[in-house]
Amino acid sequence: MAGETILIADDNRQIRMLVTASLRTGGYVLIEAENGEIALEKAIANHPDLVLLDVTMPKLDGFEVLHFLHKRPDTADVKVVMLTTASTKEDIQTGYSEGAVDYLVKPFEPARLREAVDKALHG
């Protein structure tokens, strides 16, 4: 379904640009956030259908953002895919235990990202 909103939360501008380029043809509304605090604010304000969330960000890390999103009644249903270099078993376990629907490790293949986005949004 075209027009779904995706929030791309990553402190690395080049990663945000790569993700945007990878998803541009999907008809999504893409919103960017350069740190965890802004990501949380934009998620609350825009209630995106999906958040692509880095772990290692300033202000709030991705796990904190994920935790806060899923504890708030108004954002508890927002789907989150972690997209990060944080790749230990503990990191991955934390992501899933906090409610992430998928966990992608950078560097990522654009086709794998599109697949994860489609699966998160449409099952």
pLDDT at 2: 53
Domains along the chain with CATH numbers: 20-104 (3.40.50.2300)
> How far, CA to CA in Å, does 89 sit from each of 23, 94, 102, 105, 107?
28, 8, 14, 12, 17
In order along its 123 residues, the chain shows pLDDT tens digits of 458 999 999 999 999 999 999 999 999 999 999 999 999 999 999 999 999 999 999 999 999 999 999 999 999 999 999 999 999 999 999 999 999 999 999 999 999 999 999 999 998
Q: How far is it, in rounded angstroms, from Cα 91 to Cα 84?
A: 10
Whole-model pTM: value is 0.96
- CB-based contacts of 84-87 (< 8 A; 24+ apart in sequence): 84/53, 84/54, 84/55, 84/56, 85/55, 85/56, 86/55, 86/56, 86/62
> How far, CA to CA in Å, does 15 sit from each of 38, 69, 74?
16, 22, 28
